Amino acid sequence: MNEVRAITIFVRAATLGSLRKAAVDQGISPQAASHAVMQLEKELGVRLFHRTTRKLSLTEEGRALLDNVQPALAILSSALADTRRAKDEMAGPLRVSAPRALSHAVLWPFFLEFSALYPDVHLDVQFDDLFTDLIGDRTDVGFRGGSPPAAGTIARKLLPIQLIVCASPAYIEQYGAPQSIEELAEHRCTGYRRANTGKQAPWEFLIGDEIVYRDIATTLCINDTDAETQAVLSGLAVGQLGSFSATTYIRNGQLVPLLVQHFTQREALYIYYRHRTEQPLRVRTFIDFMVARVAGNKRFYFEASELRGERSARGARRSR
């Protein structure tokens, strides 16, 4: 870049007929402009200008260099201008990484809405339960469920993730509802096998002020949250589901929350990205779009009082 800078100063000085004018044009001091040209001459081993106290004129070698570099500088200038324009255009590729566990329940409808609003943005979505290295994978924006991403990216919390024990009304009618954590051993239960480790996730419960983990014997173990939710909805078993999957079904009566005094809210959904000042307009717009639609969206989680109210109201309706 030092050589390109020196050549640019040389071209401006040759065009304007003055190193001082070239310095003003480039926003540098006359001394810096003169030094750059002298360094270029030293590097090339030829004189580029005849210098007098009143006049600056090109040598034969300087004239040849000017004729050769002007087309290349014009192409470079055009390329830089195109890049600056692209930064402010709503067009081009947009690479996004998101976990499968939250994709269909939360994110995918908003991805489709964004794609419909901005058809010139080419959305490239990779669903992956592993943490994505934005730089290494050339990804623009990532989503992650769990703990915040490590340092090196900007992360914003969008939603709490609650774990809620649920069953369908049909299951409760046939098998009853567990009244304690211990009674879960007497029930058919689903399990979730983590995609990143291959291990079955323990169920977690809030007891007092402490979160405790229990290995629950399962009738059905699945590595897909949507499939697990469908199994619980079908009346097959009791499940501990994420609020992003269960909230809508609880609110419309298709699922009943159980053991609500023990639900946990330890993790969250995050959006993460590199520094906004370095992002093209399409990336900044996508980030703002997703934050506006997902952050704090009550469709995907309960206030603690609301969850307990749902359970109480369900019990009152069954008693009538």
CATH number of 202's domain: 3.40.190.290
The answer to whether residues 155 and 234 belong to one domain is: yes
Contact 9, 69 (CB under 8 A): no
Shared-domain flag, residues 83 and 101 = no
Q: What is the per-residue pLDDT across 86-127, written as a single tens digit (0 to 9) for each?
A: 667 788 899 999 988 888 889 999 999 999 999 999 999 998
**Could you tell me the pLDDT band of residue 276, with boundaries at 50, 70 and 90?**
low
The answer to whether 164 and 245 have CB atoms below 8 angstroms apart is: no
Quick one: 57 and 117 in the same domain? Answer: no
Verify that 215 and 319 share a domain, yes or no.
yes
Residue among 36, 33, 37, 32 nearest 48 (CA): 37
Q: Which of 87, 120, 154 is the last residue of a domain?
A: 87
In terms of Cα–Cα distance, which of 272, 310, 37 is closest to 154?
272
- Rounded CA separation 255/172 (Å): 10
Could you give the CA distance from residue 110 to residue 104 in angstroms, rounded to a whole number?
A: 10
- Which residue range forms the structural domain that includes residue 195? 93-320
**217 lies in the same domain as 102:** yes
Q: Which tens digit of pLDDT belongs to each residue from 158-192?
A: 999 999 999 999 999 999 999 999 999 999 999 99
CA dihedral 229, 232, 233, 236 (to 10 degrees): 140
For residues 55 and 138, membership in a common domain is answered with no
DSSP characters for 215-277? PPP-SEEES-HHHHHHHHHTTS-BEEEEHHHHHHHHHTTSSEEESGGG-EEEEEEEEEES-GG
The letter for the amino acid at 253 is G
Domain count of the chain? Answer: 2
Pick the last residue of a domain from 87, 119, 138: 87
Task: For residues 197 and 73, state if they share a domain.
Answer: no
Domain boundary among the residues 34, 53, 87 is at 87
In which band, very low, low, confident or very high, does the pLDDT at 317 lie, cut at 50, 70 and 90?
very low
Residues 57 and 109 in one domain: no
pLDDT score at 310: 59
Considering only the C-alpha atoms of the chain, give the largest distance between any 2 of them, rounded to a whole number of Å: 105
Domain with residue 74: its CATH number is 1.10.10.10
CA distances from 81 to 76, 78, 125, 284 (A): 9, 5, 29, 20
Same domain, 75 and 101: no
> Does one domain contain both 250 and 218?
yes
Q: Which residue in this structure is represented by tokens 């324009």?
A: 85
Are the beta carbons of 163 and 133 closer than 8 angstroms?
Answer: no
